[in-house]
Structure 1
């Protein structure tokens, strides 16, 4: 599996979507936690958005980013619990080409030390669609920090051995006009 890692760091273009009925971009500490982590690791924020917890609005943003040749990873925070308004897994699952079955399991395992058995109430999940990694995380800053520090930072680093997700993601277009900065 060593062929699935690289000696050189490859910065990725990552979109962040917050699913919340109560937050604004100004009060979105979970999305901001993810942005700080990805930028500190050397990746680039492609775009950030916030939507209410509605299956169709979540899908609209996600479909646009999956189809975008400049988006390699989508991180979604919020909507993974069990309330009637938690719809992120239902919105995302049908759009995935392949599920990353171990992601939710690993997230709950690493969360156990921090939040105890409450980790069982997380429906965190991940998958790949159109060579875009999509990760759905709980809506708390602590959960986003845990996911970033204990799973995503390494798996989005092309140097992580024996393997990481980078070889499975779309390559960015070569055209200089498509290499511009983030839209937001």
Structure 2
């Protein structure tokens, strides 16, 4: 991994969604971790919401943001576990046009180094819909730090080589344009 200093940094507009029935912005530690890291990297927090653990509401907010031209990516935190109320992954998959399969695999590899075999309980996922990147992260601040620091920070940096998410962003919705 390397940064090509000859390229100019391109800020990405990222929405942050916390999935929780109990969190408020005052005690949303995971959402705050993401906001701090996104802004520190030079990107823009384009929107921020706390959404209850309801599949239809999560998917509805994702769809709304996917149709907002001011949002390039969405990162959600929470609801990716195995309990009955954990429906974030299903809501994301309701919206995806394409899943980024390797994201979950790479996240598991990063998590294994930090929490060992407990990493198998995460269902972190990523995908694309309507030209917007969508990522679902676990609800712990540590998992949000790991996902941003070890994966997303580099992939959302246009200067990152050999490739990154930003350079292909203009082509994500090419199938929807007239030929």
Matched position secondary structure for 1:126: strand
Higher relative contact order (CA 8 A, sep 6+): 1
Ranges in structure 2 where 5+ consecutive residues have no aligned partner: 1-5, 172-179
Shift of 1:168: 2.7
Cα deviation per residue 1:78-107 (whole Å; 9 max; x = unaligned)?
Answer: 000000000001111021111111000000
**Aligned-partner Cα distance in 2 for 1:72–1:39:** 15
Specify the alignment match of 1:160 in structure 2: 160
**Superposition RMSD in Å:** 1.2
**Aligned-partner Cα distance in 1 for 2:44–2:120:** 32
Matched position secondary structure for 1:33: helix
Question: So what's the TM-score if we normalise by structure 2?
Answer: 0.90
Question: So what's the TM-score if we normalise by structure 1?
Answer: 0.88
Contact preservation (8 Å) 2:79, 2:138: yes
Ranges in structure 1 where 5+ consecutive residues have no aligned partner: 1-5, 172-184
**Aligned-partner Cα distance in 2 for 1:100–1:71:** 19
Cα deviation per residue 1:50-86 (whole Å; 9 max; x = unaligned)?
Answer: 0110001101111110000110010000000000000
Specify the alignment match of 1:88 in structure 2: 88
Specify the alignment match of 1:174 in structure 2: none
Specify the alignment match of 2:117 in structure 1: 117
Contact preservation (8 Å) 1:124, 1:138: yes
Specify the alignment match of 2:177 in structure 1: none
The number of equivalent residue pairs is: 166
Shift of 1:169: 2.2
**Aligned-partner Cα distance in 2 for 1:60–1:129:** 13
Q: How does 1:29-44 map to 2 (within 5 A)?
A: 29-44=29-44
Matched position secondary structure for 2:120: helix
Specify the alignment match of 1:138 in structure 2: 138
Shift of 1:170: 4.8
Q: Which moved more, 1:161-170 or 1:33-42?
A: 161-170
**Aligned-partner Cα distance in 2 for 1:57–1:170:** 28
Shift of 1:131: 1.1
Q: How does 1:69-80 map to 2 (within 5 A)?
A: 69-80=69-80
Matched position secondary structure for 1:169: helix
Contact preservation (8 Å) 2:59, 2:94: no
